[in-house]
Amino acid sequence: MNELVYPRERTLGTITLVLGILVWLGLIIGTVGTALLALLAGFVLYLFAQSALIAHIKGNGVELSEAQFPDLHQQFTACCDRLQIRKQPKAYIMNGNGGFNAFATRFLGVQFVVLFSDVADAMAKHADGVRFYIGHELGHLRMKHLTGHLLRWPVLWLPLLGAAYSRARESTCDRHGLACSSSPEGAARALAALSAGAQRWENLDVAAYRTQANHSSGFWMSFHELLAGYPWVTKRVARVMDTQAPMPRRNVFAYLLAVFIPYAGRLGAGFGFLMLVYFGFIAAISIPAYHDYINKAKLAGAVSASAPMREGLAQYYLSTSKVPATLEEASLPAQLADGSQLVLNPDNMTLTVSTQQGELVFTPKVDKQGNIFWLCANGEGLTPAQLPPSCSKMGN
């Protein structure tokens, strides 16, 4: 059954799985386990949302059985046997309200395949029609696409990678649909119905439609496919008619633009571009704020590290009634552990700490009781707004 797996899916699946696990581990370790709480909250939300979907399916759909739509049930069973699926999923048909689709899902270990009534009605005259759609959705379940999604989730938004993995999965599932069909042309005609519609598919020239895949090598066609989770239908038709069929090479310049746009799933390239703008806006605000936070943290460290020197100067003055000419005279170092330089003004005992971020200036004052306290101000290279909170609190 290895021939049912699109070759690139294994590679892309391994890459996304490894990267996803590494990101999850990094989040868990980096947040000291807080990410596990977020993961638990996400699972609870998923549980409620998925339970609502399953309840809707069971409450409004019609379960296929030997007694209920036996023709569809027979095709479903035959496809499960063909794909060597031992534990047959639950199968339902639902009113698609014009939607031409099917989907697979699972809930608490139970698997479901749902056919929209429009697909079943449109494919009534096509022996392979429903089988292809059934096989495609069974492919998702057989390949465990639903169960591995959570581990890969943190990296699926990555440009190019997330979309490529999604397209590879769909190509694999198309091969499963092909396996359930009696002929490649039958599978291709069923797939082409996504484009031609519920009635026009009967008169579609599949061979001519297949050749439209040659138009997909242009810049914009390449660009938008690189952002999409599905290959172009013309390509999908060409591949089910011949799994070894060569596809037109994408425009190389499309990759250069697509690499900057996050994958947005079924929301499309427009939403991916909005995500890029949003992330850019957030970065424009957060990166300077982050640097400001880091600088203030380092300056706060200099304020704390220089406290013993200020205390030593105060004790020297109180005991001798004079300002030392140098720090060495007061037996104090002229440098902090981080390399910041200390400069003493012997006229007024002002202490300047020169850091990589700028200068901190400490000025001594005497209160009514004769005690010495210090005021902190910005010097060269710093503005008042860049001072850490510990600096502004001194003397208060």
* DSSP label at residue 204: -
Is the pLDDT confidence value at 119 over 50? yes
Which residue has tokens 């599932």? Answer: 173
| DSSP single-letter state for residue 329 | G
Q: What are the residue boundaries of the structural domains of the chain, listed by start?
A: 2-208, 285-392
210, 217 Cβ separation under 8 angstroms: no
Among residues 189, 187, 251, the alpha carbon closest in space to that of 223 is found at 251
Instruction: Name the residue among 128, 147, 146 with its Cα closest to residue 137.
Output: 146
pLDDT value for 269: 47
- The neighbour count for residue 31, using CB atoms within 10 Å, is 12
pLDDT recorded at residue 85 = 92
What pLDDT does residue 331 have? 87
Q: What is the pLDDT of residue 27?
A: 80
Contact present, 368 and 379 (Cβ < 8 Å): no
**Six-digit token string for 25:** 């581990």
Q: Is the pLDDT of residue 386 over 70?
A: yes
pLDDT tens, residue by residue, 301-329: 888 888 888 888 888 888 888 889 888 88
Mean pLDDT of 10-19: 93
Handedness of CA 239, 243, 245, 248 (dihedral sign): positive
- pLDDT tens-digit map of 140-178: 999 998 887 878 888 888 999 999 999 999 999 999 999
272 pLDDT above the threshold of 70: no
Measure Cα distances from 15 to 94, 155, 169, 210 in Å: 36, 10, 14, 31
pLDDT digits (tens, 9 = 90+) for 58-102: 999 999 999 999 999 999 999 999 999 989 999 999 987 777 788
Tell me the one-letter amino acid at 35. Answer: A
* Domain 285-392 is found in CATH 3.30.700.10: yes
Q: How confident is the model at residue 279 (pLDDT cuts 50, 70, 90)?
A: low
- Best CA proximity match to 37, nearest among 52, 47, 27: 27
Residue 271 has pLDDT above 70, yes or no: no
What does the pLDDT look like over 17-64, one tens digit per residue? 999 999 888 888 877 677 777 778 778 888 888 899 999 999 999 999
What is the residue-wise DSSP string for 114-164?
EEEHHHHHHTTT-TTHHHHHHHHHHHHHHTTTTTTHHHHGGGTTSTTHHHH
Average pLDDT (171-188) is 92
At 71, is the secondary structure helix, strand, or coil?
helix
